[in-house]
Amino acid sequence: MTIHRLLQHSAFNQDDIDRMVAAYEHCLQTLDLVDRSDPITERIAKQIIEIAQTGERDPVVIGKQVADVFQRSPR
């Protein structure tokens, strides 16, 4: 899973990682993305990490923010 690879050497604690993974899953489901090797999934994971770094901790809020961005922009 893309987000796990990106977080494997991060300074986030396990609770934060769990929330980001939940946001990632929520976002992929919202965007109807099932192919985890699709390059867009890495862009989504990076966006989720960036938002989490701002202090947002709610996985639904994070996932929705990222999904909204990707729904508005062309792939």
d(CA 50, CA 38): 20
The range of the structural domain enclosing residue 56 comes to 2-72
Confidence of residue 74 (pLDDT cuts 50, 70, 90): low
Q: Is the pLDDT of residue 8 over 60?
A: yes
Residue 49: CB atoms within 10 A of its CB come to 20
d(CA 30, CA 13): 26
Confidence of residue 70 (pLDDT cuts 50, 70, 90): confident
Q: CA 37: distance to chain centroid? A: 14
Indicate the number of domains in the chain.
1
| Residue 21 pLDDT | 94
pTM for this one? Answer: 0.85
d(CA 66, CA 11): 22
| Residue 71 pLDDT | 84
| Residue 55 pLDDT | 92
Tokens of 24: 């990632």
